[in-house]
Amino acid sequence: MTCIFRHNKQKAKKEHKCSWCGEQIEIGETYYYQAGTYYGDFQVTKLHEDCDAACSEASYKYGMEDYEPYSYKRGTTEER
């Protein structure tokens, strides 16, 4: 069971690693930040804008509720 506490779009003040593709989110780049619990464990997710769209697509199209971090190509649902 997932419970999202916060999901917003923001500009990076420092570098982060995208949870979807594993590539760098650069300073000044807009990204999505999500914080919540996943089966009782607190989790933070940071995604490029295009990776957030791919993640949403995977959830909608394929009913995918979770994924292995860093296992997709940037902005796509194609596995590495």
**pLDDT of amino acid 3:** 66
Distances (CA, A) of 15 to 24, 30, 33: 7, 11, 13
Nearest to 35 by CA among 26, 44, 27: 44
Asked if pLDDT for residue 60 goes beyond 90, the answer is no
pLDDT in tens, 9-57: 999 999 999 999 999 999 999 999 998 887 788 989 999 999 999 998 9
**pLDDT of amino acid 38:** 79
> How many CA atoms within 13 Å lie on the side-chain side of 55?
22
**pLDDT of amino acid 2:** 60
Compute the chain's Rg from CA coordinates: 12
